[in-house]
Amino acid sequence: MSETIDIGHLKRWIGRTEEADDQIDIRLVRSFLATLDRDPGDVSEGDPAPLCLHWCLAPPVVPNSATGPDGHPARGGFLPPVPLPRRMWAGGELRFLAPLVVGDRVTRRSRIEAVELKQGRSGPLCFVTVRHDILASAVVAIEERQDVVYRAAETGGATPAGRRPEALETPKADATHSFEPSPLALFRYSALTFNGHRIHYDRSYCLEEENYPGLVVHGPLQATLLAHLAAETLGRTPAVFSYRGVKPLFDGETMGLNARRNGNGCELWSNGADGAARMQATAWV
């Protein structure tokens, strides 16, 4: 399969840029908080925007007819046309430089930084690294690195990603929360981010096309919940928050959210019903 991937052609996308604008309005903030199962309360212009709300801003918007079979926008455009059918967020890093507030007009400036082809246990993997600057009032509020991974479709039986991981020993947490990733919560988050990826809402597609045992919980949703726990544990917004997906989490599993202090930062992880980590993260001030 890797012989059919022209990595030289894909690397031509390195340096490609894109810019998009959006606004943080009251309805978006209240809907975001409700999706995190928090009381949306009274929100006013000038209030601080919740952490990671920027992932709901300025998403790619294309007509239904311009999407691929998985619900993503058709290949090409800003991201390179990687000829591997499965696409997921692998991880990333956020640097919080200045607060966003309700009412801000926000600009996202994006640049393709790297395209790499690797060989995984299940076949070829293509990693695309994207850098984003999130600006408000011409000031960079967030610097972000986003890692996207493409992989081949699995043949026969459940995919390794779809298997329930064995329980692993995890460190003792200083703070824990839980979140129910119900179909409603996943639908709401998909709507907020205008994410058409069918693995998050189309159960038949998950079972029949991608061999998952259920709806897949969004990586950014898990990262958002862990970032909020980091801020609660540290008593302030972290300066840097990095995260990495370990295993998929599916609806029907209560998501555990855990934090452990480590000097002037903390280690964080989400877990499923078996206690095994699904996403790992670090935050520091």
Domains of the chain plus CATH, in order, are 2-284 (3.10.129.10)
203-248, pLDDT tens digit by residue?
999 999 999 999 999 999 999 999 999 999 999 999 999 999 999 9
Whether the per-residue pLDDT at 160 is higher than 50: the answer is: no
pTM confidence score = 0.92
- Rounded to a whole number of angstroms, the CA Rg of the chain reads 19
**Average pLDDT over the chain, rounded to whole?**
92
Determine the pLDDT at residue 122.
Answer: 76
- With tokens 């399969």, the residue in question is 1
Tell me which residue of 281, 282, 230, 273 sits closest to 249, measured CA to CA: 273
